[in-house]
Amino acid sequence: MNKIRPFILGLAVILSGLLAFGLFTMPKPKAADAEGFSSARVVKHIEEISKEHHSVAHPQERASVREYLVGRLEGLGADTVKLFEYDSLVGPKNKHVVYTFDAVNVLAEFAPENATDSTAYLMFVAHYDSRYSQPMPRDTVWSYGAADDGYGLGVILESMSHLLKNRQDWKQGVKVLLTDAEEVGMMGMTAMWEGNREVFDNVGLVINIEARGPYGPALMFEACPGNDKVLGLYADSAKYPFTYSLTTVVYQFMPNFTDFTIIKDYVPGLNFSTIADINHYHTDLDNFSNIDEKSIQHYGEQVLPVAQAYLTSEEYVSKDALRSDKDVINFSIPALGLLSFSKIGYTILCVVIFILFLLAFAVEGFRGRLKAMRVFKTSGIVLGSAVGVLLLGELFAYACAAGVGAKFNLFGIVQGVPFDNMAMALYVALVFAGSLLLYYNGRTKVVRATLGSMRVSAAHTATTTYALNLLYASLALLFVLSAALLLAIGENMMFFIPLAFATFALILWRLTSIKSWLPVAIAMILLHAFSFLYALSMALTIGALGAVAMIAFLDMMVLIPLADLYLMYPKKK
């Protein structure tokens, strides 16, 4: 059994990586002649939409896109297609240029067969203007809007073509709102909300579709306040769910906003977006040649089932059916799916894990395997090392930005570093290599210290103690961080998940004497870490490399000793 442990551990790591990055956990693109949602059919819409720049500075090209969309909505059989015109809007300054423009929102309505004045509606929202001029380190560029927001427009048109096939089963109706001037401060949506709020009176659910880059999974990154019921609908309906309630908290502190921002406090809703890659976002690289059908298909596999469930259920006949004053904590783990908890339930779970960790720590100390002061001292070293990883990461990111003349924002969005993803991966890999090297250097010293011992098992005992000391020191740090974040913002899953899985594995190992629990914990921690850290790094960009690497380092300080404990076994006499 001992000889195959490296193989089992390696298999666990490799499978975790493959699952976390989409193998078996992400939908495959579907051809144009396939049943169900087809990314290939969406591509045809995007090809037409993204032929030319169509920002607020391109009124004729924008009008052409609008005409195409109106034609598609009429062709789908909309009961009405209305244009809402807003004159002489003034956009923000861009390199001392102020755009004054007219905005025209498009609203199409599809009522159920037995519609009444009180019928509730699902509202799809996407914007059809592309980004205006964007200054880059070496040039000023214009977006073609292929992803932002060709993805949203195409996904909505494709979704509607399927929803209408079962219109006879609808209990609720659909409104499709395609907004103008989103890129200049959500001005089209703002004008409608302030001047034509009656459009939203009977809307019970909003699904807003955005794109912050052309590839990667489609993240459901924001839900309305009081998300209990709307996330219940998402959890029960969406295929391949990909979401973290933490992202809603983080998004509040970011400089990017969407049309959903204007209405999210008033109408229940969900906000979807790809988040990779920042260098394609709002630039000329957002063009038809760079779209990703896998990402498009992932939108559809989430959005379409949610819409179908909403439209055909008696549960949502009231427009207030999804309103709630309760929030839930949720996160997705590849292969495990979406895990959702009430705030009280999640707090109870955290407290249970905290108590189990403290009990496991106490038992190890009672049996003489650990010394509390030594563990706490090691926790301080791990914390200091984590801060060092953070600072060096930000310095490395600054050097990368400076090397290409890009503007650096500490812990903020940095655009214009063409090799940013490679640089981030390289830095995290170097942190892992350094951590592994230092761990085994310390381990070697411990083994050497036992060379004069008469006991054959002395080296095994010493290395086990060494691994347990670092493991519990790291877990103690995660315990403190988890508790602090839980009290501060009610969200702590980035630290809590490795703490929870490692604690369970350690307890089960001690109770059953079966070490196989350890690679299971390693696999679960990696499934979460790979997926979450990828999403975090893409969202925050290289400007927050230090913070991302620090979280990765804390995971490493749990994973490395766990792996060592699993692989080691006493030498035979």
pLDDT above 90 for 153: yes
The pair of three-digit structure tokens given for residue 397, joined into one six-digit string: 């990111």
How confident is the model at residue 573, as a pLDDT?
A: 44
| Across 55-72, average pLDDT | 96
pLDDT band at residue 200 using 50, 70 and 90 as cut-offs: very high
Q: Please name the amino acid found at residue 205.
A: L
pLDDT above 70 for 452: no
Q: What is the pLDDT of residues 355-414, one digit of tens each?
A: 999 999 999 999 888 999 999 999 999 999 999 999 999 999 999 999 998 899 888 889
Report the alpha-carbon distance of residue 101 to residue 57 in Å, rounded.
Answer: 8
How confident is the model at residue 252, as a pLDDT?
A: 65
pLDDT above 90 for 22: no
Report the alpha-carbon distance of residue 177 to residue 82 in Å, rounded.
Answer: 10
Q: Provide the whole-model pTM.
A: 0.92
Task: Please report the beta strands in 193-333, taking only residues with DSSP state E, as ranges in sequence order.
Answer: 203-209, 219-223, 269-273, 328-333
Domain architecture of the chain: domains with CATH: 34-326 (3.40.630.10), 354-393+420-567 (no CATH)
Q: Please name the amino acid found at residue 184.
A: V
Angle between helices 39-49 and 293-312 in degrees, nearest 10: 110
Burial class (CB in 10 A: 0-12, 13-18, 19+), 306: buried
How confident is the model at residue 568, as a pLDDT?
A: 82
pLDDT above 80 for 503: yes
Q: Mean of the per-residue pLDDT values for the chain?
A: 92
Q: What is the pLDDT of residues 204-258, one digit of tens each?
A: 999 999 999 999 999 999 999 999 999 999 999 999 999 998 887 776 666 568 9
What does DSSP say about strands 328-333 and 337-342: parallel, antiparallel, or unpaired? antiparallel
